[in-house]
């Protein structure tokens, strides 16, 4: 039994390996982009719009709203990253309803790659907002003694992101595979439904945590102090 | 359970490409469409607000106009009512005056008609009495009424009371004018002579009489000079009859009127 889609290799040339994870990822990418292109081809600005446009608008404005609620005042700047995280993980996980499908998020390499993206996005947005020094100063908050703990926190949360997503998705897939081999046909279907729910929830958790980390980096020192004062008073 | 670093790098690149592509093909167009629609809706709402404000303003104007119109209408109505009342009073007064005048005219006409009727009635009665008498006399005594009238007149002259005789003498002796004898019919020469003889005997003188036929006398003879008149005709009887009938009618009417008055009270 293969635990990761990385182990299904289609083509290999030295370091370069084309495995199931990459192929599935490209498929999902293609699906997302073609769907987006097809739906946005005939966008209307009237009050009456098509169902698909309405569906897409609901998703995009929903993501926008979530980003705003977390504390990022200009969600248009972050929706590209956070929205793509949610859509990619969500579509990857929902695909488990197709028999024989293995989500790319069941690969630790994919979840690590996504966590790495978040890990890099946090300083990217933080520096973009406050500059290099301003961002680095945030590691000395509230005192310089906290520097090692802040650094450890930064790395550990990235690791936690990767492992959490991988663990949940991989375990779900594994459980379904095991149940299919030992139990009647109906029970894995129920587990599949549960897998749909956990897959969506995981996509939401991953993207919302990424938003929280970015928001923490983007918020200025003054704002942090203000929040602190409010909390202590 | 190991991490394939090539896959990690490839997935990072894949993810970044996906971010770029979705930003281009999904988020931007969708957000632009949403913003544009919001803008459009806001514009429409603003326009609707403006139209609403304009409509409210217009409504206020119309309300004010209506109120003004109502007050003017009320004032005009009051004035019209007052004018109508004045006109009504004037018309009623005029109608009363006209009715009074018409009533007065009617009463006058009625009285005139009554007098005319009375006159006609009297005339007819006299004529009828004369006709009846003439016929009766002819049937009973085979005597003409003209002859009998002359006889009666002469007889009447002869049986005058002392007072009447004196008045007659006084009137005719002092009068130098001719004595006029009017009769309802043409007197024959014999009758004229008989009358002349009877008067001459009464006056104890010889005078000439003037004779004149007046049909209105209705079978009668009238002797007249200035200030005195002596006559005999059916008119005397008829007048007496009329007086008596009138008196009787009045006597009959009086109790009825009294009864009516009592009943009404």
User: Would you say A132 and A202 are in contact if contact means Cβ atoms under 8 Å apart?
Assistant: no
Q: How many angstroms separate the most distant Cα atoms in chain A?
A: 62
Contacts of A11 (CB under 8 A, 6+ apart): A17, A18
Does B39 reside within a domain? no
Q: In angstroms, what separates the C-alpha of B17 from chain A's closest C-alpha?
A: 9
Q: Is residue B199 part of a domain?
A: yes
- Across all residues in chain B, what is the average pLDDT? 82
Instruction: Identify the DSSP state of A45.
Output: -
Q: Say if B169 falls within a structural domain.
A: yes
B238 within a domain of the structure (yes/no): no
- Is the residue at B59 inside a domain? no
Within a domain: residue B205? Answer: yes
Q: What percent of chain B has pLDDT over 90?
A: 33
* Residue A47 pLDDT > 70: yes
Q: What is the pLDDT of residue B265?
A: 45
Total domains present in chain B: 1
CB B31 within 8 A of CB A65: no
Nearest Cβ partner of B27 from A44, A47, A79? A79
Interval B64-86 mean pLDDT: 94
- Percent share of chain B, pLDDT over 70: 83
Cβ B4 vs Cβ A108: under 8 Å:
no
What does the pLDDT read at residue B14? 94
Query: Quick one: which of A6, A37, A36 has its CA closest to A24?
Result: A6
Non-local (6+) Cβ contacts of B4 within 8 A are A6, A17, A19, A21, A107, A109
Report CB contact under 8 Å: A32, B31: no
For an interface test with B, which of A87, A110, A210 has the most B Cβ atoms less than 10 Å from its Cβ? A110
Instruction: Give one DSSP letter per residue of A127-144, joined into a string.
Output: HHHHHHHHHHHGGG-S-G
**Domain for residue B113, yes or no?**
no
- pLDDT exceeds 60 at position A230: no
B17 inside domain: no
Residue listed under structure tokens 């680095």: A136
Residue contact A22–B12, C-beta within 8 A: no
Average pLDDT, whole number, for chain A?
83
Preferred mutation among B15, B23, B48 to probe A, highest tally of A CBs within 10 A: B15
Is the separation of the CB atoms in A148 and A231 below 8 Å? no
Stretch A87-106: mean pLDDT, rounded? 88
List phi, psi (to 5°) of B142: 50, 40
| pLDDT for residue B236 is more than 70 | no
Pairing of β B179-183 and β B209-213:
parallel
pLDDT of residue A233: 46
pLDDT at A192 over 60: yes
The more confidently predicted of residues A222 and A91 is: A91
Cβ within 8 Å, pair A113-B30: no
Q: Do B22 and A32 touch (CB under 8 A)?
A: yes
The predicted-structure confidence for A6-39, as pLDDT tens digits, reads as follows 778 888 888 888 889 999 999 999 999 999 888 8
Tell me the chain A residues in contact with residue B20 when contact means C-beta distances shorter than 8 Å: 80
* B194 φ, ψ (degrees, to nearest 5): -60, -45
Examine the pLDDT at B243 and tell me if it is beyond 90. Answer: no
Segment holding A93, helix H or strand E = helix A79-94
Cβ–Cβ under 8 Å, residues B154 and B194: yes
Does A33 lie at the interface with B, CB-CB under 8 angstroms?
yes
What ipTM was estimated for this complex?
0.86
Expressed as residue numbers, the domain containing B161 is: 144-232
């Amino acid at each position: 039994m293969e635990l990761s889609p990385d182990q299904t290799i289609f083509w290999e040339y030295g370091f370069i390996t084309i495995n199931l994870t990459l192929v599935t990822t490209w498929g999902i990418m293609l699906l997302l982009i073609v769907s987006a292109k097809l739906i946005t081809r005939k966008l209307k600005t009237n009050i009456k719009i098509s169902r698909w446009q309405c569906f897409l608008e609901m998703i995009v404005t929903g993501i926008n709203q979530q980003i705003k609620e977390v504390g990022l005042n200009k969600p248009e700047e972050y929706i590209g990253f956070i929205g793509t995280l949610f859509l990619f993980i969500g579509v990857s996980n929902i695909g488990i309803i197709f028999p024989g499908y293995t989500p790319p998020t069941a690969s630790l390499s994919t979840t690590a790659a996504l966590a790495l993206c978040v890990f890099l996005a946090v300083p990217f947005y933080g520096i973009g907002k406050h500059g290099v020094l301003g961002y680095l100063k945030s590691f000395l908050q509230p005192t310089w003694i906290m520097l090692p703990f802040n650094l450890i926190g930064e790395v550990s949360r990235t690791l936690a992101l990767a492992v959490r997503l991988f663990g949940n998705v991989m375990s779900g897939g594994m459980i379904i595979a095991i149940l299919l081999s030992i139990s009647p046909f109906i029970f894995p279907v129920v587990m599949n439904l549960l897998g749909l729910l956990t897959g969506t929830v995981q996509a939401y958790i991953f993207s919302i945590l990424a938003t929280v980390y970015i928001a923490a980096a983007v918020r200025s020192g003054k704002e942090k102090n203000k929040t602190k004062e409010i909390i202590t008073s | 359970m190991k991490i394939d670093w090539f896959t990690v790098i490839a997935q990072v690149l894949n993810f970044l490409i996906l971010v770029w592509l979705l930003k281009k093909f999904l988020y931007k167009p969708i957000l632009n469409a949403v913003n544009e629609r919001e803008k459009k809706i806001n514009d429409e709402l603003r326009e609707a607000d403006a139209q609403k404000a304009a409509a409210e303003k217009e409504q206020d104007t119309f309300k004010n106009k209506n109120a003004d119109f109502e007050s003017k209408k009320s004032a005009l109505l009051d004035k019209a009512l007052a004018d109508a009342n004045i006109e009504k009073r004037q018309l009623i007064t005029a109608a009363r005056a006209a009715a009074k005048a018409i009533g007065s005219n009617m009463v006058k006409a009625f009285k005139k008609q009554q007098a005319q009727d009375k006159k006609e009635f009297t005339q007819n009665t006299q004529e009828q009495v004369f006709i009846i008498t003439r016929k009766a006399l002819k049937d009973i005594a085979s005597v003409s009424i003209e002859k009998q009238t002359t006889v009666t007149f002469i007889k009447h002259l002869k049986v005058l009371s002392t007072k009447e005789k004196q008045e007659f003498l006084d009137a005719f002796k002092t009068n130098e004018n001719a004595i006029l004898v009017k009769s309802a019919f043409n007197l024959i020469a014999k009758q004229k002579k008989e009358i002349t003889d009877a008067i001459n005997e009464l006056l104890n003188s010889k005078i000439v009489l003037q004779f004149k036929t007046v049909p209105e006398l209705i079978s009668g003879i009238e002797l007249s000079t200035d200030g005195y008149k002596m006559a005999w005709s059916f008119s005397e009887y008829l007048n007496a009859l009329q007086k008596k009938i009138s008196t009787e009618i009045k006597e009959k009417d009086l109790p009825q009127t009294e009864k009516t008055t009592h009943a009404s009270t």
